[in-house]
A = this chain, B = another copy of it.
């Protein structure tokens, strides 16, 4: 069978399975998740043996140690997949929630009821644990899912997918509720992206190249984020101790993630008091600073920032630093370079904070807190399937609710339009 007919057939099966998943009870869905956690623990050795095949190929191909690390299903990864599934069991089932209800002048009773999105397509790169995390969340929200993992994790994903199928069937749900594309051809992705009548949303997770490819080629709507160019703005009325603690945490605690700070903006009035000490702390933490001319007056050892630095997502221990003249100046810089991800202001002035919160156009705006709090767990969503930096449907971390839609349900007694 051709790649195209295989993928189209999978999408058709997913569409049918989605009808079953949508009406599955909370108990059934939780049973699948609990059982899957057990199966993964029981089969840890088999899963790791398949993972070893991927790791061997990865080493032969000369993949970087960081890539090898992401690809490895260690005992910790096994435990974290099982634990993650058990956490999702505890989350409230969003399906069926009535978000509003009113009787209209015509006499009809109108409710808005939460429903699954339907069929979700997930395209991701190296981490095989995404196979389990994504399947668990999508299923809990009543969706069917088609998974397309990275080719370097092929054997690992096939092993995990077999565990999922077993859990689904034991509970009496069709195995097609969660399907992994069982081939490595890139063509499969192209076919998947054209199934707008069968798939409701695509969620790509990975590098910017993958996300752009999906966005440019998909007829199915896409939930995505390209990158996180997060800013911390230290206001003239900042508590400078908080400012230094937050800046360091936002840059250093985990520099390789999208909610880490990439640019620090400092109000001119506090630059002289703030920059020398904070700069030293960054230096001790091994951070390379790239400063505007005014920053370099205070920190002569900093490298000179160029125009290329302001939109840059370093994802490492490098930080752009700029002195600004006012909160408006900071907001103008953010408007010009932000990626819609996270911005933070450090200030003790409530009015300035309010202005910043209203005007900064990102999925999360923090006052006196680290940008690193833009995370589904920290913000109270439970687990997250990804993060959206475009405003349609979801803006910020996406949890169970973001994997649903709402429909109108109307009860009448024979009403017609006049």
Interface residues of A (CB under 8 A from B): 19, 22-23, 102, 104, 106, 108, 110, 115, 117-118, 196, 200-201, 215-216, 219, 221-223, 239, 241-242, 245-246, 248-250, 253-254, 335, 353, 357-359, 361-370, 372-374, 378-380, 390-393, 395-397, 405-417
Task: State whether A391 touches B245 (Cβ < 8 A).
Answer: no
Task: State whether A363 touches B408 (Cβ < 8 A).
Answer: yes
Can you tell how many copies of this chain the complex includes?
2
* Interchain nearest-CB distance for A5 vs B (Å): 20
Task: State whether A378 touches B106 (Cβ < 8 A).
Answer: yes
**Could you say which residues of chain B place their CB within 8 Å of the CB of A359?**
19, 22-23
**Could you say which residues of chain B place their CB within 8 Å of the CB of A221?**
221-222, 390, 392
**Could you say which residues of chain B place their CB within 8 Å of the CB of A393?**
392-393
* Interchain nearest-CB distance for A367 vs B (Å): 5
Task: State whether B407 touches A395 (Cβ < 8 A).
Answer: yes
Task: State whether A391 touches B405 (Cβ < 8 A).
Answer: yes
Task: State whether A414 touches B369 (Cβ < 8 A).
Answer: yes
**Could you say which residues of chain B place their CB within 8 Å of the CB of A367?**
409-412
**Could you say which residues of chain B place their CB within 8 Å of the CB of A363?**
407-408
**Could you say which residues of chain B place their CB within 8 Å of the CB of A390?**
200, 221
Task: State whether A391 touches B200 (Cβ < 8 A).
Answer: yes
**Could you say which residues of chain B place their CB within 8 Å of the CB of A335?**
19
Task: State whether A245 touches B416 (Cβ < 8 A).
Answer: yes
* Interchain nearest-CB distance for A26 vs B (Å): 14
Task: State whether A242 touches B414 (Cβ < 8 A).
Answer: yes
**In the complex, which of the residues B117, B370, B416 contacts A417, with contact meaning CB atoms closer than 8 Å?**
B370
